[in-house]
Each structure stands twice: as C-alpha cells, then as structure tokens.
Amino acid sequence: MSFRKRLLAGLALTLGLGSLAVSAAQAQDAPSLKGKRIGITVAGTEHYWDLKAYQGQIDEVKRLGGIPIALDAGRNDSRQIAQIQTLIAQKPDAIVEQLGSAPVLQPWLKKIRAAGIPLFTVDTISPYSINDTTSDNYSIGEKLALQLASDIKGRGNILVFNGFYSVPVCAIRYDELKLVLRAFPDIHIIQPELRDVIPNTVQNAYSQVTDMLQKYPNKGDIAAIWSAWDVPQVGATQAVLAAHRTEVRTYGVDGSPDVVKMVADPASPASAVAAQQPYLIGKTAIDTVARYLAGDHDLPPYTFLPAILVNKQNAADAAKALGQS
C-alpha cells in the first residue's frame, strides 16, 4: 500500500472528536494576583478568536484579584507599538502580548524584557517570551490537511489563502499543509496563491474566489479551498454557494460559531474547521503569569491547549463540546 493510501486509510483514527481536557497543572487554580497590574496588548479583537482570547485574559486577571491594563490596537501595527511603549512606561508586573506580525513586534518585545518586565505571549512565538500559550498548530495544520486530502480522495486542484505567513501560527499551519501534500502528488495548489486581507476579509475572499471560479468554470477544475483561519473560509463558502459550485469544499481554522454551524449544515460546502478554545487559551496565559509572579520560574516555554477538528460527521457533538450549542 502506498504512503498516500496508508495516510487516507488511517485518517479515521487521527481525526476523532478528541478531548478538550487540559493537564492537571493547567486545571488547578492559579495563585492570587491581588495588587498586581498586568498589561495586555492585542493586535485586534474584531475576529471571534481574538476577542475571546482577549476576554479570557481580562476576566482571569480580575478573577485572581489583579488589575488588567488592556489595550486593543485595532489591527494597526503602529498603534500596537505605541501601546507597548505606553505599557513599558507604566511598568506593570507583567505584560501579555497576543498575536500580531512577528517581524514588527520582535524589537518591541525585546524592549519589554530589557525594561525588566516579564513577558508572556498568546499565539506569538518569540525568544523574549517566558511562555507562549497557544493551540498545537502543528497538529491542527496536519489534521486539517489530511481531512482535505481525504475528502477530495487524494487528487485535485486547490486554492490556498496565504496572506499572513508573517504571523507564526498561520505559517505553521501552512507549512503543515505543504508537508502533508508532499504525500499526495495528485493534489496541486493553484498558483499564484490567494492573499487574505484585513479588514474586509469576508468581502475580499468572496471576490477573489468568485474570480477564480469564473477562471476555472468547470466542475472538477477546483476541488477545495484552504485558509489558515476561518474568516476567509466564510467568504469562500459564500462565493461557492453563489456560483452554484457546491462540489468545491472549504477548510479553515479557529472554529467561530458561525463556521461550526456551516460545517454542520449537510448542504454547505464548508467541510471542516479546526476549532480552538480561545477563551481558555487567554485564561491559561494569565494563570501562567500568576504562577511566575508567585515564584514558579520553572515554566515550559510553550503551553499547548487541545483543539477539535470539526467535520461533517462530528459537528453537532463538537458544537456541544465547545459550548456553542
């Protein structure tokens, strides 16, 4: 049996609903943050994942008795840099940075550590972060790619949105897609790749996919559409439905409630979404901060939280497990 066939045959064993349980260390209550000021800087909050992770941090700081200094940059790099400068000047007990463009952020994350302020991150890989709390994006990227390959039976042309490779988690998911596709030589990424944008992500994705469906008008010309997050998936799905090309399947990451509902709909071309737990990710990041400030400096560099691959078979159960039903 070829490697490609073995992968497809084993797919059912790797893409189950899975467990949302966290480790005992993560589940236990965190130390108090009474009297501590915790800076929180986030790239933006207009997306479900971003907002829930941000809320999880703010709520947990308050629950533990601390004072959150929370700043939302509204997807503006210059504004986030200015906000980081403001936080450094205020000298909080710790700073948590969430998402953003790594090349832009790294010099400023370095400045946080140089100022003697403990730095923690959410979904941002940085040598200056004491701990990064995130999903296992390697597993997410692999399993989503395997689901796509299985659904299209290991052959066909696919469209790929790759506009945010500078965001580390998006890069990991994309790299895992490419790695899996090496085992499927009959799956081809149509070039040039599409570029997702912020803002107007849904509208832009709709427009780009509509143009590509017109360029490739025949059934079988395009088998699937992949994106590293699920907002482009919404626009892509809408475009596929509008063009009456429901044989084209769509895939994404994050698991916003509206996307999980689309996947649950048997008539929708949305075939799978890797659903994360953003609120728990934000909460866990703050719990890690609390442990560090309480004297536990033997922390791992990464804290990985589980995700669920939501597909047509498990969507109803997944929505319940995610608290979305």
The CATH number of whichever domain residue 125 belongs to comes to 3.40.50.2300
Say if 151 falls within a structural domain.
Answer: yes
Say if 320 falls within a structural domain.
Answer: no
pLDDT score recorded for residue 29: 87
What would the two tokens of residue 201 be? 């992500």
Q: 3-class DSSP state for residue 217?
A: coil
Do 119 and 32 share a domain, yes or no?
A: yes
Do 159 and 127 share a domain, yes or no?
A: no
Say if 322 falls within a structural domain.
Answer: no
Do 55 and 121 share a domain, yes or no?
A: yes
Q: What letter would DSSP give residue 116?
A: T
Do 97 and 154 share a domain, yes or no?
A: no
Do 78 and 112 share a domain, yes or no?
A: yes
Q: Are 172 and 138 in contact (CB under 8 A)?
A: yes
Give me the number of domains the chain comprises: 2
Say if 98 falls within a structural domain.
Answer: yes
N- to C-terminal Cα separation, the chain: 41
As beta bridge partners, residue 72 has 42
Cα 197 to Cα 43, 135, 174, distances in angstroms: 14, 23, 16
Q: Are 173 and 141 in contact (CB under 8 A)?
A: yes
Do 64 and 167 share a domain, yes or no?
A: no
Cα 55 to Cα 41, 70, 144, 306, distances in angstroms: 12, 10, 27, 19
What would the two tokens of residue 37 be? 């000021």
Do 270 and 180 share a domain, yes or no?
A: yes
Say if 323 falls within a structural domain.
Answer: no
Do 112 and 151 share a domain, yes or no?
A: no
How confident is the prediction along the chain (325 residues), in pLDDT tens digits per residue?
Answer: 443 443 444 443 334 444 454 443 444 689 999 999 999 999 999 999 999 999 999 999 999 999 999 999 999 999 999 999 999 999 999 999 999 888 999 999 999 999 999 999 999 999 999 999 999 999 999 999 999 999 999 999 999 999 999 999 999 999 999 999 999 999 999 999 999 999 999 999 999 999 999 999 999 999 999 999 999 999 999 999 999 999 999 999 999 999 999 999 999 999 999 999 999 999 999 999 999 999 999 999 999 999 999 999 999 999 999 998 7
What would the two tokens of residue 196 be? 């997702």
Say if 171 falls within a structural domain.
Answer: yes
Do 287 and 161 share a domain, yes or no?
A: no
Say if 310 falls within a structural domain.
Answer: no
pLDDT score recorded for residue 28: 61
What would the two tokens of residue 313 be? 């078979």
Do 50 and 94 share a domain, yes or no?
A: yes
Residues 78, 101: Cα–Cα separation, whole Å: 11
Do 263 and 300 share a domain, yes or no?
A: no
Listed residue (147, 107, 104, 88) closest to 311, CA to CA? 147
Crossing angle of helices 77-90 and 102-114, in 10° steps, is 10
Helix, strand, coil fractions of the chain, as percent rounded to 5:
45, 20, 35
Structural domain containing residue 87: 17-134+277-305
Do 102 and 219 share a domain, yes or no?
A: no
Say if 317 falls within a structural domain.
Answer: no
